[in-house]
Amino acid sequence: MSEQWSSPSPSGATSEIQNYLIPAILSAVFCCVPLGVVSIIFAAQVNSKLAAGDIAGAMESSKKAKMFMFIAIGGGLLIWIFVILIWLLVFGAAAVNM
């Protein structure tokens, strides 16, 4: 009547770790290339660390990929807003002086 004890499978914990690869690629293409590339590098490390059994390292790479992805998106948006404002000021001033 005794039951065999088995350790829980680590697959449940690893399936919750996201690698953020697709958002990282999109942030590199559309927002800020240098920070997006850093995000892609960390996102690519997640799956290899999971395969090696390094769950803590995979979680750390996932957090860094997410952080650099958001920084790339925020930086890209700020740059685009700045460019549009400068463009409007320059062409607005040119239109007034006509």
> Global pTM?
0.74
Q: Is residue 25 part of a domain?
A: yes
The range of the structural domain enclosing residue 25 comes to 18-96
Alpha helices in the chain (DSSP H): 11-14, 21-30, 33-52, 55-96
Q: Is residue 8 part of a domain?
A: no
Q: What is the pLDDT of residue 96?
A: 80
Structural domains in the chain (count):
1
Q: Is residue 26 part of a domain?
A: yes
Task: Give the DSSP letter of residue 9.
Answer: P
Q: Is residue 81 part of a domain?
A: yes
Q: Longest C-alpha distance within the chain, in Å? A: 95
Report yes or no: 24 and 69 within 8 Å, Cβ to Cβ. Answer: yes
Q: What is the pLDDT along the chain (98 residues), one digit of tens a residue?
A: 556 655 445 555 556 899 999 999 999 999 889 999 999 999 999 999 999 999 999 999 999 999 999 999 999 999 999 999 999 998 887 778 76
